[in-house]
Amino acid sequence: MSVKNQLDTRVEKWALLKHPFYKAWEAGELPQKALQAYASEYGAFIASMPSGWETLNDSETAEEEREHIVLWQDFASGLDTKIDKAQLPAIKELVASAENLFSQEPTALGALYAFEVQQPETAKSKLEGLKAHYDLPASVEPYFEEHSHNEHEAEKLLGRINELSEDDQKIAFQACEQMSSALWDALTDIYDTHCKM
């Protein structure tokens, strides 16, 4: 099995587009408070992204990610909220996992891949949902517009993982699985807290 297949098999176990939270978003069924919680708390995870790229000595992409945090803040502002510290347990765990995994090269590669490989499709889905169902200012859209055609980061990560030793690749695979699971659990916590009656 190729390195890409080994990574993608792990991501697919927790494919975010299959999550009830994103399905509800796409269908226009999320309450405003769920979108606000997502913008605010998940934003704490988004704010951690530059550190992973810094660990990889990729300052150009780290700077791009810092610019993307500003776009995420625009998304939050359009929902009358702001990026804040995580409050929900699974989002606290996601942020802690990111901090840990982003600190070493093999784990940073695997963890970032788990997120970045899903970004284009999840961004497209969320953007379409926002435009079709939610009466919100245009400022909520640029983050998702930017990421709906952002395949190059996952490709860059895959190239770096292919260059790792076999032992380090195994570490990257484990990190990919850990991050995929943490991302899924974070959405579940928001969904269970704000969407279930």
Q: Say yes or no to pLDDT of 4 above 70.
A: yes
pLDDT at 197 over 90: no
pLDDT exceeding 90 applies to what percent of the chain?
Answer: 97
In whole angstroms, give the CA distance from residue 7 to residue 113: 8
Residue 111's pLDDT is 98
**Token pair belonging to 163:** 């260059």
Tens of pLDDT, residue by residue over 72-123, are 999 999 999 999 999 999 999 999 999 999 999 999 999 999 999 999 999 9
The pLDDT value recorded for residue 150 is 85
* pLDDT at 196 (0 to 100): 79
* Residue 157: other Cβ atoms inside 10 A: 28
pLDDT digits (tens, 9 = 90+) for 49-74: 999 999 999 999 999 999 999 999 99
Looking at residue 108, its pLDDT comes to 98
Nearest to 182 by CA among 71, 88, 84: 88
Question: 130-142, pLDDT tens digit by residue?
Answer: 999 999 999 999 9
84 phi and psi, to 5 degrees? -140, 175
Mean of the per-residue pLDDT values of the chain = 96
* All domains of the chain in start order, with CATH: 3-194 (1.20.910.10)
* Average pLDDT value for residue range 33-52: 96
Task: Kindly write down the DSSP assignment for every residue of the chain, as one continuous string.
Answer: --HHHHHHHHHHHT-GGGSHHHHHHHHT---HHHHHHIIIIIHHHHTTHHHHHHHTT-HHHHHHHHHHHHHHHHHHHHTT-------SHHHHHHHHHHHHHTTSHHHHHHHHHHHHTTHHHHHHHHHHHHHHH----GGGSHHHHHHTT--HHHHHHHHHHHTS-HHHHHHHHHHHHHHHHHHHHHHHHHHHHHT--
